[in-house]
Chains A and B, each alone.
Chain A
Amino acid sequence: MSPTAAKTSGTVEPRHGRNFAILWAVATAIMVPIIIWVVGPHIPPGSMSDNTRAQHDVDVALTALAMPVLMLVWVFLAYAIKNFRADKTSEAIVDGPPIKGNARIQATWLIVSAVLVVGLAAYGTIDLFVEHGVGGGQGSNPLAKPADAKGALQIQVIGQQWMWTFRYPGYGGVETQTLELPMGRDVEFHVTSLDVVHSFWAIELGVKADAVPGADNVAFVRALRTGSFQVRCDELCGLWHGQMSTTGRVVSSAQFQSWIGATAKRYAGVTKVLPPYSLTYYPPPTRNAT
């Protein structure tokens, strides 16, 4: 019994390879600009800070880069579904050509994907350092710091079940329940926790750092516009994890100075009895939640 070939005498075999490549190229050429110029500007998380700008740019780049891959698969599937169907009119099971592989295609695929991966990794690494860690928590010894890290405003973010408080070591260690920071200045968050693991996510500022008890997690931001931003807890921390949110504000330098001065004065009595400012706290052990 002879193998049933896809070619029967008298018909010309369509040039599937070429056809598919053309369709793919066209699809990619359409989608990539759409992503970059039409969809791109609407991709979150906005441009309130240097972090979110960088995150937005990376997301647009990644989405645009994903388009050729997406189109490869979608165009191929559509092409195969249309052109490589078995003949429905016949009951007989007809085999396709016994192609077991193609070393050149395999090698090309592997090389191209390796180049893409290395390129992506390099891009990601460079971006991470150029943008001072892009707002991600870097642990207690951050590598990717802003140029003038020494002059950054230090704010400690303390997570506990189930609220956020903020301490300003540069202003006497006053602890507040509201987060305000000045526009246009590097801010260095020191995120920690008093009990279980939380995660400090200042969404529009593009900051995310896990609050780990006994650890100090540093993240940077420089806000570019005034306005308010959401703060949510991003790591499941118990019953009211979903309610552990607050609103922070970015204000002008002058407004910030007056606010922090007034706050420090108002809470001076409380600040005196608080534990001294420290990068980690170890409250006395509490009983198990009952």
Chain B
Amino acid sequence: MESATVSVQPRRSNASAWGGLLKTNVIWAVVLAIVGYIVAHWLGGKIAGNIAAEQNPGGTDQADIAILLGLFGSIVGWMLGLGFFNYPLKRMLGRPPSLHEGGESGAWRYFRLCTDHKVVAMQYLVATLFFFFVAGLNAMFIRTELTSHNATLFPSGNYLTLVGLHGTMMLTMMSAGVIGPLGNWLVPIMIGARRMAFPRIESLTMWLTVLAGFVLLSATLLGGFPTGWTGYAPLADQARAGIDSYLVSFLLIGISLVLVGLNIIVTVVTLRAPGMSWNRLPIFVWGMVTTSILAVLAAPVLAAALFMVMCDRSIESTFFVSSSGGSPLLWDELFWFFGHPEVYILALPGFGIVLEILPVFARKPLWGYRLAVAGMFGVALMSFMVWQHHLFMSGINANLRPFYMFTTELISIPTGVIFLNGFGTLWKAKIRFTVPMLFCTAFFFNFLIGGLSGVFLSDVTSDVVTHGSFFVMAHFHYTIMGGLVFALMGGIYYWLPKMTGFNLNQTLGKIHFWTMFVFFNLTFFPLFAAGMLGMPRRVSTYNADLHTLNVFVSIMAFCLGLSMIIFIVNLVWSMVFKRERAAENPWHSKSLEWQIPTPVPSYNFEEIPTITGDPYGYGLPEGPVVDFGRRRPAVAAGKAGA
């Protein structure tokens, strides 16, 4: 399949710092994005000027055509500045296809289009963590507002924008949060490949995600948006210009999701090393594959729905305007058809991380490997069949409600399989509670509560009480934050020593874990009660009876924020200042990514390995997962058992 390396030619390097500044990079991207916005906005104003004057004789203070075109102009400028148009233009001139862009050494490669998947993964990590913390900061503002049941700290529009920014940024950035950093870094190495299938597209998805984050933040400059992350029309039609930022940002994320999913699936299908059969594939890779299937199929529906809102806002179509033949329920249906697979795009990577890490620290094979894979596929498939449970109270055809109640409860079966796999792996194990293992254990505790609360929501009778209330909030924070984010933290503590070559401080890691775990539960568990006691979502005023509860939750939330600061301190201290070199395989894992040197060379493997087993051979006399042939005999002997 894969040919061994033949020639040895150094890649072109960007050794000079000034040289790096002048070539395409993110600085140019920012400059050209701003220029692009101005130019396109002006153009849009020229196009729309006459139309707007006709339709709204009293004048208007917003021109959505201009703003939307402006935002698209900034996308063009951004891609131009990073050099993403170079290859497509070359192809139009008939130049042959190629895989790499050059410029793959030197510090500048982190600030530009780089076709090394490991660099893209690190860029993703920094970007998604940055936006994660920004969104977390918004959450702190939200909880501050909620410490009073009737006074307001923020004007209503600002508060709703904070809520929308928090939700949208968290969901979009955490959708990319595992598949971006960890998926891109690990998938090629875990399957024994040197690259992702489409390296430039991989870099594009990363830079589009970064742009999406900044476009979303630009909503604050355009008046904010009042719809929350769910963007319900016709409120979205009615809203001020800030929602154009939300629409464009989410569209970028949708495109990025399709492309990153496509890339991962093609990579796993076509670039596996010899011997890497389907039943030797690491479970993390299966998690990435199933997530990618959802991304490729569900995100386009979101793109279509966002496109329709953009049409409503710019060319005055009436997709969601009921007085002119449209319907708000159309948005509901389209959005949640995407929205439900979206939350499994968030959850499945968490499953993959946890089941991948558990065997290493339990020192036992993954229990029920095939069942785990089947469970992931079951979740992925069924996630397309449950979306109407978000619409139980919306006035959908009453015939549908029992069916979707059934399918929603059914999806708990493949989800529960993950627990069975985890517990089977822990059964009679020799567990070492390192920091990654702590996070993975907490995953089970948190996701259980999240999943059980989902059963309450799936029952239509119970849903009448809890739909749209803080109960739903607690449910999805338990599954997504308690599940995915905890798993992501575990994954970061586990893989960062390999990815960067530096250790994270384990003591700080344990403090981070315990504070995060305790305060996370204390923050979100009371919110189940708040919801059942009648507190709707996205409000800043609520019943005085719930005041004490909310003050308690807010204080706990601030402490949760402090735990995040401990994490940031750990990251910065360990990666920037202490820089303690990591061992090649500090966790004594038998998985392929730990059998190669740290730091990993840009070509990953000197020779494409021949895979001889699955990565979970703990307790067995078998050697490591890979046969490097004549290379590294000393390492091989050290891996088999104690």
Contact = CB atoms under 8 A, between A and B. Distances in A.
Direct contact, A vs B (beta carbon within 8 Å): yes
Contacts of A201: 468, 534, 536
Contacts of B619: 3-4, 95-98
A196 interface: yes
Interface in A74-124: 74, 76-77, 80-81, 84-87, 92-102, 105-106, 109-110, 113-114, 117-118, 120-121, 124
B641 A95 contact: yes
A77 B463 CA distance: 30
A3 B444 contact: no
Contact of B412 (A45, A87, A117, A143): A117
A240 interface: yes
Given A95-B619, A117-B412, A238 B444 contact: no
The 7 A-B residue pairs with the shortest CB-CB distance, nearest first, are: A214-B322, A242-B539, A98-B619, A217-B395, A282-B323, A234-B468, A86-B430
B464 A134 contact: yes
Contacts, number: 331
B351 interface: no
B543 interface: yes
Contacts of A73: 419, 444-445, 448
A234 B532 contact: no
A269 to B, nearest CB: 27
Interface of A: 1-4, 6, 16, 43-45, 51, 54-55, 58-59, 62, 66, 69-70, 73-74, 76-77, 80-81, 84-87, 92-102, 105-106, 109-110, 113-114, 117-118, 120-121, 124-125, 127-128, 131, 133-144, 191, 195-197, 199, 201, 203, 206-210, 212-217, 230, 232-243, 280, 282-283, 285, 287-290
Contacts of B232: 196-197, 235-236
B267 to A, nearest CB: 27
A1 B410 contact: no
A97 B464 CA distance: 48
B534 A45 contact: yes
Contacts of B144: none
Interface size class of B (residues with CB under 8 A): 35 or more
A162 B180 CA distance: 41
A124 B460 contact: yes
Interface string B205-249: 000000000000000000000111010101100111000000000
B412 A288 contact: no
A290 B363 contact: no
Interface string B327-339: 1110010000000
26 contacts: A6-B430, A44-B534, A45-B532, A58-B461, A59-B462, A66-B452, A69-B452, A81-B441, A84-B362, A85-B432, A94-B363, A95-B642, A96-B362, A98-B365, A98-B620, A121-B402, A121-B405, A136-B393, A195-B234, A197-B328, A197-B332, A208-B467, A212-B395, A232-B534, A236-B537, A285-B321
B62 interface: yes
Contacts of A239: 156-157, 160, 226
Contacts of B58: 287
B426 interface: yes
Interface in B110-163: 156-157, 160
Contacts of A58: 459, 461-462
Contact of B393 (A92, A140, A210): A210
A137 B394 contact: yes
A142 B394 contact: no
B428 interface: yes
Given A1-B641, A98-B364, A195-B238, A214 B323 contact: yes
A115 to B, nearest CB: 10
Give the one of A58, A70, A207 with max B CB within 10 A.
Answer: A58
A2 B156 CA distance: 68
